[in-house]
């Protein structure tokens, strides 16, 4: 692929306006790619940028462990010492944009002549918008779909090359796969709605529901959400809530993952789960398919954004590098080497990538996927939603009451935010 050299020339010419052959402008770039092929790839991308901008811009790249990164970045922002360019959570860009810490990239995008609709996937790009500006760019995202064990399908008398075509078939096939011990515990479970990347909000979307009303306000006790929670509880009760919990405790994610160990016929996971299969069970015979929820197929996405500090003394150079990171060649390189579903749709839909079944379904699933809606006044609303769900599953509340109580708390929190801001 020869996209890179042309891009580098263009960026070099644009960068000449930033510096006049004195000392290069130094840009600090923080990210979570601190080991393996992801580190090698990001280092290559930065090195090629530096080479093409020699004497003009120099990027100093720092990869920090994922588990330490978020605290370090948060502390640096609080101390007003954040790097010029940094990776962050794609799901809550507006929270930072609303504080003024992020640079609006719209003028730079317009100056560079970038067609946003033609360049980026719509769903992750929309998460970067705040009011009338664009305060980040979607470096990489993800999707959820179903993995299924073809050998378990065959053992149950099912066609291993025909996954479920409807939500009803998911459960019909799951029942045929499920095996119990003489004590009544699950030896093999056809499908587990409380395992891995299976979440209630995805089921609401699959019922063609929403957590927002027509005015865009958070509405967690609407008729469709209540109905979905009633159905969710019925599904779990049919399997036995305590038995599911025991199963989950027996097979924690990772090396002992139930699907990887042939104990789960179908599992909802993200598009990167295949790498764990390759590591722990390279001979596992599996397939993939989109989630055929009751009313419509859907998925859930999140990911990482690239953001630029509004407090940087070198905003032009920082924006230059940020746009480069999201241009076609670096994004293609990251997608190809790291198998990451990048935000640049031109890179992600490169023919050589689309030849792979898992990659193709990932891209197709992104077209129907959703992000959890961001609510500035109550950004972690979904954590309280999960608490309400747990109340229902543990039999401490009915779906209607749990969601009614939650809605009251939501409205109180939103009013409190408005009062204090």
pLDDT in tens, 306-336: 999 999 999 999 999 999 999 999 999 999 9
- Give the pLDDT score at 21: 53
Q: In the predicted model, is pLDDT for residue 248 greater than 70? A: yes
Beta strands in 150-225 (DSSP E): 179-180, 186-191
Q: Average pLDDT in the 24-49 region?
A: 97
- 374 forms beta bridges with none
Q: Which two tokens stand for residue 200?
A: 């209630």
Q: What is the mean pLDDT of residues 27-54?
A: 97
Q: 133 falls in which pLDDT band (50, 70, 90)?
A: very high
Annotate 77-136 with DSSP letters as a single string: HHTT---SEEEEEGGGHHHHHTTT-BPP-HHHHHHHT--HHHHB-HHHHHTTEETTEE--
Question: Mind listing the pLDDT tens digit for each residue in 337-351?
Answer: 999 999 999 999 999
Average pLDDT over residues 43-59: 97
Residue 20's pLDDT is what?
Answer: 47
Q: What share of the chain is helix, strand, coil (3-state, %, to 5)?
A: 50, 15, 35
- pLDDT at residue 5 in the model: 41
pLDDT range class, residue 420, cuts 50, 70, 90: confident
Q: What are 418's two structure tokens?
A: 């408005």
* Chain segment 83-119, per-residue pLDDT in tens: 999 999 999 999 999 999 999 999 999 999 999 999 9
Asked if residue 294 has pLDDT above 50, the reply is: yes
How does pLDDT run across 143-188, given as a tens digit for each residue?
999 999 999 999 999 999 999 999 999 999 999 999 999 999 999 9
């Amino acid at each position: 692929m020869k996209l890179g050299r042309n891009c580098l020339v263009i960026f070099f010419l644009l960068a000449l306006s930033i510096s006049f052959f004195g000392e290069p402008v130094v840009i600090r770039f923080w990210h979570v790619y601190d080991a393996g092929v992801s580190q090698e790839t990001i280092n290559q991308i930065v090195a090629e940028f530096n080479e093409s901008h020699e004497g003009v811009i120099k990027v100093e790249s720092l990869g920090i462990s994922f588990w330490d990164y978020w605290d370090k970045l948060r502390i640096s922002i609080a101390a007003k010492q954040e790097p010029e360019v940094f990776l962050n959570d794609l799901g809550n860009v507006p929270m930072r944009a609303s504080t003024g810490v992020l640079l609006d990239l719209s003028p730079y995008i317009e100056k560079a002549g970038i067609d946003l609709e033609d360049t980026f996937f719509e769903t992750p790009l929309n998460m970067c918008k705040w009011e009338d500006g664009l305060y980040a760019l979607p470096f990489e995202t993800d999707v959820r779909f179903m993995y299924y064990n073809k050998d378990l399908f065959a053992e149950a008398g099912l066609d291993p090359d025909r996954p479920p075509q409807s939500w009803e078939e998911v459960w019909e096939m799951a029942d045929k796969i499920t095996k119990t011990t003489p004590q009544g515990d699950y030896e093999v479970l056809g499908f587990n709605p409380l395992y891995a990347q299976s979440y209630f909000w995805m089921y609401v979307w699959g019922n063609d529901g929403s957590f927002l009303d027509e005015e865009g306000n958070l509405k967690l006790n609407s008729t469709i959400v209540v109905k979905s929670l009633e159905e969710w509880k019925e599904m779990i009760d049919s399997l036995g809530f305590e038995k599911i919990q025991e199963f989950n405790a027996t097979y924690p994610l990772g090396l002992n993952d139930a699907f990887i160990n042939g104990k789960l016929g179908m599992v909802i996971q993200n598009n990167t789960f295949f790498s764990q299969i390759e590591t722990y069970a390279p001979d596992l015979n599996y397939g993939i398919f989109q989630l055929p929820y009751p009313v419509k197929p859907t998925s859930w996405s999140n990911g990482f954004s690239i953001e630029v500090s509004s407090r940087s003394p070198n905003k032009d150079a920082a924006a230059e590098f940020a746009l480069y990171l999201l241009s076609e060649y670096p994004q293609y390189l990251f997608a190809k080497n790291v198998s990451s579903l990048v935000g640049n749709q031109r890179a992600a839909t490169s023919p050589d990538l689309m030849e792979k079944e898992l990659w193709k379904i990932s891209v197709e699933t992104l077209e129907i996927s959703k992000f959890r809606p961001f609510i500035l006044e109550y950004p972690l609303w979904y954590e309280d939603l999960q608490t309400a769900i747990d109340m229902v599953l543990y039999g401490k509340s009915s779906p209607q009451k749990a969601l009614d109580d939650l809605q009251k708390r939501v409205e109180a929190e939103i009013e409190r935010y408005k009062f204090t801001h």
